[in-house]
């Protein structure tokens, strides 16, 4: 494991049944950074997140996933989540018929782990209090009594992130948080991700919108047909026109 790696994939091969999807994927996310995982539709980004989070399928048939040096490849999603790895899935998973307040309340702290974001905001353990969550998301504060299903797409995304933040954790993996959002709304979700990062949360940001992701990422990986085809700083990727055109279409 490299000295900097916080979350590390080492030679991961993942399958859905007989379909071999991830091919020898190695990557690392360093503590405190925003790391982007980019690639076209179907490149294997969600499969990578599911492989890390212990969600099955896919089956990880070879290779290792390590978090803070521990091998978590074969652990359950519950254990991995309790270690402080949180996943905000693409479908956002909020309760549309409940209010914003009820949604946040229901993601109450059920675990007991030391938490960097919590510590930064002077909470020794667990996630944030409701009020701290609202302080991070003023738009949600204004809409506490509104039914979540009636929020805009951007507000629903913020609510999904707020719920993950309330639960705590050391690394947040976001699956396509900008999907379906208008450019000015993307900006406000971007701001929210930046704020969370500044408070000490490590971020793995999966996006098809490479331009937006490169704006806030420190480093990036590009996947194509389940293989890592680029690995470097976001700045290097911005300057690598050939890779951007070939694999990201931008």
Residues found near ligand ATP in the complex (CB under 6 A): 16, 19, 21, 39, 41-47, 57, 208
Q: Give me the phi and psi of 3, to 5 degrees please.
A: -60, -30
* Contacts for 62 with CB less than 8 Å, ≥ 6 apart: 11, 12, 13
Question: Shortest gap between Cβ of 60 and ligand ATP (angstroms)?
Answer: 13
Question: Shortest gap between Cβ of 6 and ligand ATP (angstroms)?
Answer: 22
CA distance 244 to 246: 6
**Cβ proximity to ligand ATP, 104 vs 214, nearer residue:** 214
CA distance 121 to 104: 18
90-20-221 Cα angle (round to 5): 55
CA distance 236 to 226: 21
Question: Shortest gap between Cβ of 37 and ligand ATP (angstroms)?
Answer: 9
Question: Shortest gap between Cβ of 45 and ligand ATP (angstroms)?
Answer: 3
**Cβ proximity to ligand ATP, 41 vs 145, nearer residue:** 41
The token pair at 64 is 């290792």
**Cβ proximity to ligand ATP, 44 vs 169, nearer residue:** 44
Question: Shortest gap between Cβ of 22 and ligand ATP (angstroms)?
Answer: 8
Question: Residues 146, 160, 152, 196: what is their CA dihedral angle, to the nearest 10 degrees?
Answer: 110
Question: Shortest gap between Cβ of 9 and ligand ATP (angstroms)?
Answer: 14
Instruction: Say which residue the tokens 């999966």 belong to.
Output: 206
**Cβ proximity to ligand ATP, 39 vs 177, nearer residue:** 39
Given CA atoms 4, 15, 177, 166 in this order, what sign does their dihedral have?
negative
**Cβ proximity to ligand ATP, 146 vs 208, nearer residue:** 208
**Cβ proximity to ligand ATP, 19 vs 62, nearer residue:** 19
Q: Is 55 helix (H, G, I), strand (E, B) or coil?
A: coil
The token pair at 68 is 């803070």
């Amino acid at each position: 494991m490299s000295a900097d790696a916080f979350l590390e994939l080492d030679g991961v091969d993942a399958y859905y049944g007989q379909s071999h999807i991830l091919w020898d994927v190695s990557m690392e996310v360093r503590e405190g950074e925003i790391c982007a995982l980019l690639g076209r539709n179907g490149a294997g980004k969600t499969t990578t997140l599911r492989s890390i989070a212990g969600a099955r399928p896919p089956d990880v048939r070879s290779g290792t996933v390590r978090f803070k040096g521990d091998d978590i490849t074969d652990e359950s999603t519950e254990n991995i989540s309790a270690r402080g790895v949180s996943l905000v899935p693409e479908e956002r998973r909020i309760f549309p018929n409940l209010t914003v307040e009820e949604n946040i309340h229901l993601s109450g702290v059920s675990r007991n782990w030391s938490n960097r974001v919590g510590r930064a905001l002077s909470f020794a353990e667990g996630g944030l209090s409701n009020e701290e969550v609202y302080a991070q998301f003023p738009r949600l504060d204004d809409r506490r009594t509104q039914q979540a299903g009636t929020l805009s797409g951007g507000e629903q995304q913020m609510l999904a992130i707020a719920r993950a933040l309330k639960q705590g954790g050391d690394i947040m993996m976001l699956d396509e948080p900008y999907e379906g959002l208008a450019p000015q709304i993307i900006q406000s979700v971007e701001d929210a991700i930046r704020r969370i990062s500044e408070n000490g949360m490590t971020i793995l940001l999966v996006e098809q919108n490479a331009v937006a992701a490169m704006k806030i990422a420190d480093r990036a990986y590009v996947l194509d047909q389940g293989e890592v085809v680029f690995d470097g700083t976001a700045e290097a990727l911005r300057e690598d026109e050939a890779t951007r055109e070939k694999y990201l279409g931008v």
